[in-house]
Amino acid sequence: MPDFPMDGRLLRRFVPPLFLTLLIAASGAGDMPRCQDSPPDLTTIGIEAVMNMEVTSVSKKPETLMASTAAVYVITSEEIRRSGATSLPELLRLVPGVQVARINASTWAVGVRGFTSSLSRSLLVLIDGRSVYSPLFAGVYWDAQDTLLEDIERIEVIRGPGATLWGANAVNGVINIITKSANRTQGTFATIGGGNEDRFLTTVRWGKETARGGAFRAYGKFYDHDAEFHQNNDDFDDWHKAQAGFRLDTDRGEGDHLTFQGDVYDGRAGQRAVISTYTAPFAQTVEKDAEISGGNLLGQWKHRFVKGSDATMQFYYDHTHRRQPTFLEDRNTFDLEFRHRLPLASRQELMWGAGYRWTSGDTGGVPTIQFIPETRTDDVVNTFIQDDIQLVPSKLELTIGSKFEHNDYSGFEYEPNVRVLFSPAARYVFWSAASRALRVPSRVEDDLSLTALVDPTTPTFVRVQGTKTFEPERLTSFEVGYRAQATDRLFLDLAVFHNDYASLLSLEPGTPFTETSPPPDHTVIPFAFGNKMEADTYGGEIACEWQPIATWRLIGSYSYLHIDLTPASDSLDTSTERSTEGSSPRHMADLHSSLDLPKGLGLGTTLRYVGSLPAQQVKAYTELDVSISRHLSQSLEVSLGGQNLLSSHHAEFGGGGGRVEIERSLYGKLVVRW
């Protein structure tokens, strides 16, 4: 993809007046036929609909939010539209207990109930059932994850383990992004916008019914983002990306549904890295665009049997290419999964399934950052079983199950859970869960050799070396929750948890030694990955949704987190405890407001508070996001928005190639449907 030059000063000068002009000039636009995916009227959505909202991530089957035995939050398509967010990580700020911190223009740190990092370790992210978890670094590259935000049906976020159904690495949470069926995105949809930070954004999508009663859509999008704030004006982190994709949905008879979809993307993200070398001056700072590209294909077949039984077969292929200043990787993944839901009796339902994943990665890098061997292929075989038993119909339900997996790093593993749902009345639900989950080793813990300069005068280096004996990180979790529709206009959701972690990663120092090759002679201080850290965490989240009038919805939440890391008695690690505990806020709170006003105006505001991060040298901060939209006709909408409006710039997380602060963002967007 060629570079996309754009003068940020010109955009900051001309974009806001441009969209104000559009808002005024288009106010007299005539009505046009309404597109099938036009936004819903807020007055048609009540608190009852929130209780009965469908979720599938908790049990891999449709169930209501009220009946879910997990701390689950659903971001609806309406919330997405009103949020003014322009990326997937920004949408996750709406979820209680989820920390989203922007590191620089293209990098986010995301954490659920602690352990926040730039790769979102121990957090499983799926897009339409396709895992985007990287087995190289055991995490998620958020700069590579995208889709047309207007095509998202909902985002289901489970706070807490989901390993029994989703497998290893679904430790602290599961984020399941579900897009709309193609038959719900008919017609043509286009947007164009820009601002001082999101300098240019454009999307187009076209949908049409097929000759045999199915539906098809295709989309494309492009965005260009300015660098964030740098004290030294070294704006290295601007980025741009293009993406396109398609989806086909069709029914074959009354009991079969087929889905086939795919995406391709290509982008450049500015990065800064310090590269250590064995020759003088022993380190150099490099600023260079990272290449981010890839593609995927997914197919899914669903079949409904008689008497409520159904089966799903899904496969996907995923290719990723990443070339950063310090390393590169090309990875191919093939995944196949089958699951079957079978009612055994009037009060019992069994779900079981099996899957196989094959993944192969080719790596390269500078001499001081290597994966040995450069090429590695791994596979995972898994099966699961889960039994739902209605002990007392409509009152008391018991769920038990376990996942069984075999991987090439740690061998055979199992991840059981037990969940109980008690509903004393139609509008009140108590639930509890006990779960076991684990994060399996990645190539970082197994194959990485990383050498970094400490003292150029000696010279002295530190070297972190992977170990073949690294064990999975393990979690035993206990959760209790309560949901209630207190009135026709008020909904409450409370969850508390206690997590016990064992065999967490630690960095264990070894005995320094002198290395003569490559010359000159240099001292190396070795570190090895160990499993000598334990953690005890507890906390809770409370969310309240209130609809004081039909056209006004308020959602408030507060979350509390306490993390206590303890090294083993024979551990020599002196840094992990402090850096982990101090990278997740103890307190977070937010208030979202969605208000429909006369003459087609809509106002969305989000006020959020994030506690301090001592390990990242980030102070507590409060910020405000605002989005104003106006429907000029059934097919024409214009919106203006602002993010981080309470400060010109502020820090949210460390790292990212030096101190970077996130700037106030103003933008405008024009939406056309026909």
> How far is Cα 604 from Cα 595, in angstroms, rounded to an integer?
6
Is position 572 within any domain?
yes
The separation between CA 156 and the C-alpha centre of its own chain, rounded to angstroms, equals 10
* Exposed / middle / buried, residue 29 (Cβ in 10 Å: 0-12, 13-18, 19+): middle
> How far is Cα 439 from Cα 567, in angstroms, rounded to an integer?
19
**Model confidence pLDDT, tens digit, residues 244-273:** 999 999 998 778 999 999 999 999 999 999
**Model confidence pLDDT, tens digit, residues 408-465:** 999 999 999 999 999 999 899 999 999 999 999 999 999 999 999 999 999 999 999 9
> How far is Cα 252 from Cα 571, in angstroms, rounded to an integer?
60
Contact 217, 190 (CB under 8 A): no
Judge whether residue 24 has pLDDT over 50.
no
Is position 98 within any domain?
yes
Contact 653, 620 (CB under 8 A): no
Three-state secondary-structure class, residue 471: coil
How much of the chain, in percent, has pLDDT values that exceed 70? 93
**Model confidence pLDDT, tens digit, residues 306-326:** 777 999 999 999 999 999 999
Q: What is the mean pLDDT of residues 320-344?
A: 95
Contact 142, 89 (CB under 8 A): yes
Judge whether residue 116 has pLDDT over 70.
yes
Q: How is residue 111 written in tokens? A: 């954490």
Q: Give residue 37's pLDDT.
A: 62
Is position 2 within any domain?
no
> How far is Cα 154 from Cα 162, in angstroms, rounded to an integer?
18
Contact 466, 441 (CB under 8 A): no
The residue ranking higher by pLDDT, 2 or 491, is 491
Q: What is the mean pLDDT of residues 85-101?
A: 93
> How far is Cα 127 from Cα 150, in angstroms, rounded to an integer?
14
The residue ranking higher by pLDDT, 543 or 15, is 543
Three-state secondary-structure class, residue 49: helix
Contact 661, 651 (CB under 8 A): yes
Sign of CA dihedral 239, 154, 69, 302: negative
Cis peptide before 33 (omega within 30 of 0): no
Q: Give residue 175's pLDDT.
A: 95
**Model confidence pLDDT, tens digit, residues 613-667:** 999 999 999 999 999 999 998 899 999 999 999 999 999 998 655 679 999 999 9
Judge whether residue 15 has pLDDT over 90.
no
Q: Give residue 655's pLDDT.
A: 61
Is position 1 within any domain?
no
Q: Give residue 54's pLDDT.
A: 86
Q: Give residue 35's pLDDT.
A: 53
**Model confidence pLDDT, tens digit, residues 218-234:** 999 999 999 999 988 88
Q: Give residue 306's pLDDT.
A: 79
Three-state secondary-structure class, residue 273: strand
- At residue 48 the predicted structure's pLDDT band, cuts being 50, 70 and 90, is confident
Q: Give residue 10's pLDDT.
A: 37
The mean-pLDDT minimum among 10-19, 81-90, 150-159, 274-283 falls in: 10-19
- At residue 11 the predicted structure's pLDDT band, cuts being 50, 70 and 90, is very low
Q: Give residue 25's pLDDT.
A: 36
Judge whether residue 120 has pLDDT over 90.
no
Q: How is residue 172 written in tokens? A: 């602290």
Instruction: Count structural domains, the chain.
Output: 1
Is position 33 within any domain?
yes
- At residue 297 the predicted structure's pLDDT band, cuts being 50, 70 and 90, is very high
- At residue 354 the predicted structure's pLDDT band, cuts being 50, 70 and 90, is very high
Give the range of the structural domain holding residue 385, as residue numbers without chain letter: 8-673
Judge whether residue 5 has pLDDT over 90.
no
DSSP state of 38: P
Judge whether residue 345 has pLDDT over 70.
yes
Phi/psi-derived region of residue 233, left when phi > 0, alpha when psi is between -120 and 50, beta in every other case: left
- At residue 46 the predicted structure's pLDDT band, cuts being 50, 70 and 90, is low
Judge whether residue 8 has pLDDT over 50.
no
List the CATH number of the domain containing 536: 2.40.170.20
445-456 per-residue burial string, b: 16 or more CB within 10 A, e: under 16: bbbbebbebeee
Say what the pTM is.
Answer: 0.92
- Residue 454: which of 282, 280, 273 has the closest Cα? 282
Is position 643 within any domain?
yes
The residue ranking higher by pLDDT, 15 or 51, is 51
Q: Give residue 199's pLDDT.
A: 95
> How far is Cα 323 from Cα 328, in angstroms, rounded to an integer?
4
**Model confidence pLDDT, tens digit, residues 376-410:** 999 999 999 999 999 999 899 999 999 999 999 99
Is position 101 within any domain?
yes
- Mean pLDDT (the chain) is 90
> How far is Cα 287 from Cα 257, in angstroms, rounded to an integer?
49
Is position 462 within any domain?
yes
Sequence-separated contacts (24+) of 600-607 with Cβ below 8 Å:
600/630, 600/631, 600/632, 601/628, 601/629, 601/630, 602/42, 602/82, 602/627, 602/628, 602/629, 602/630, 602/631, 603/627, 603/628, 604/82, 604/83, 604/84, 604/628, 604/629, 606/83, 606/93, 606/94
Judge whether residue 61 has pLDDT over 90.
no
* Exposed / middle / buried, residue 68 (Cβ in 10 Å: 0-12, 13-18, 19+): buried
> How far is Cα 327 from Cα 275, in angstroms, rounded to an integer?
11
- Residue 618: which of 572, 651, 573 has the closest Cα? 651
